[in-house]
Amino acid sequence: MTPEPAPTLHARAPGAQELAAALAAFARDGVALLPGVLAEDSAALLAARAQAIMAGELAPERWFYQHDSPSGAYEDLAYGDGFIGPSQAYRKVERLERDPLFRAWLEHAALAPLVRALIAGPVALCRAVLWNKAPHGGTELPWHQDGGPFWGLSQQPELQLWTALDDAPREAGCVEAIPGSHRGGLASPEGGTIPRACSDEQAHRARAYPAHRGDVLLLHNLVWHRSGRNTTAAPRRALSVCYMSAATRCTRKRNPRQFTRLFER
């Protein structure tokens, strides 16, 4: 069977000076914003595909779903329910590399120079996730790091690219981060959610990173970050892709993961 051709998504590769500035900010702060990388019409295509996936129109058994809690509180989230029916209030949808349109973006030529500047040698995908905040909804996500033993990896990934599929102003729950916090390593042995005492002490250093549709945010896996609920009448959807060296192995004994290699087409 002939593979389905990759859809055409329009984007611009950052210029040399812009790329250098973003990489310097990423090293210093653990976060950097590249505006207008993905064309707005292409971002709209991805947003429409996300809507169709959440509506169950595209083989929902292919994806991993988690729905928002009615309260919007992180501690009230349900785990293991998967697809519970058509809804635009799923908190996240994972395994989006299985969709040809999302796959076309996560290994787009416009992103290749950025990824290769930070990852030596062959590149693999750790995960590709839609993060969604429904209008007047979403989850109040606490301060956390995307690293630690829970991830079950032989080495810690460091690069995530967060692409805004809608405008993400502060009132819609944009990403907030504590610049430079990645340089301290894991805040706790387990990683994940930052202990409350630590986050309260550092919260005054937080910075909001509002984004427009098509902007790309570089996030270090260990930078402390969070996001609030969406108080607007518009959805706030974003694609987060975690890249890593293809030398990384899954350390889980039961059903170890096999990782997809990228940028080899």
pLDDT, residue 90, reads 98
> What's the pLDDT score for residue 6?
57
Instruction: Judge whether 233 and 136 are in contact, CB under 8 Å.
Output: yes
Phi then psi dihedrals of residue 102, to 5 deg: -65, -40
Which residues does the chain have with pLDDT short of 70?
1-7
Strands (E), 156-265: 159-164, 175-177, 207-209, 216-220, 225-227, 236-245, 261-262
C-alpha distances (whole Å) from 170 to each of 34, 114, 228, 260 are 17, 26, 8, 34
Give the distance from CA 104 to its chain's centroid.
Answer: 16
Give the residues across from 65 on adjacent strands: 93
CB–CB of 104/117 below 8 Å?
no
User: What per-residue confidence (pLDDT) applies to 197?
Assistant: 84
pTM to 2 decimal places = 0.94
Question: Which of 180, 74, 76, 68 minimizes the C-alpha distance to 133?
Answer: 68
Three-state secondary-structure class, residue 86: coil
Q: How high is the pLDDT of residue 1?
A: 43
In this prediction, residue 47 carries a pLDDT of 98
Yes or no: domain 16-262 corresponds to CATH 2.160.10.10: no
Q: CA distances (Å), 80 to each of 21, 66, 73, in order? A: 41, 8, 17
What amino acid is encoded at 68 in this protein? D
Give residue 60's pLDDT. Answer: 94
Mean pLDDT of the chain, nearest integer: 95
Question: Rounded distance, CA 224 to CA 143, Å?
Answer: 6
Residue 201: which residues within 8 A CB-CB, separation 6 or more?
none
- Domain definitions of the chain by residue range: 16-262
Contacts of 110 (CB under 8 A, 6+ apart): 11, 12, 13, 14, 37, 38
Distance CA 14, CA 140 (A): 32
Distance (Å, whole) CA 264 – CA 125: 12
Q: What angle do CA 70, 71, 72 make, to 5 degrees?
A: 95
Backbone φ and ψ for 58, nearest 5 degrees, come out as -125, 70
- What distance in Å separates the CA atoms of residue 109 and residue 238, rounded to the nearest whole number? 19
CA dihedral 39, 43, 48, 50 (to 10 degrees): 160
pLDDT given at position 203: 86
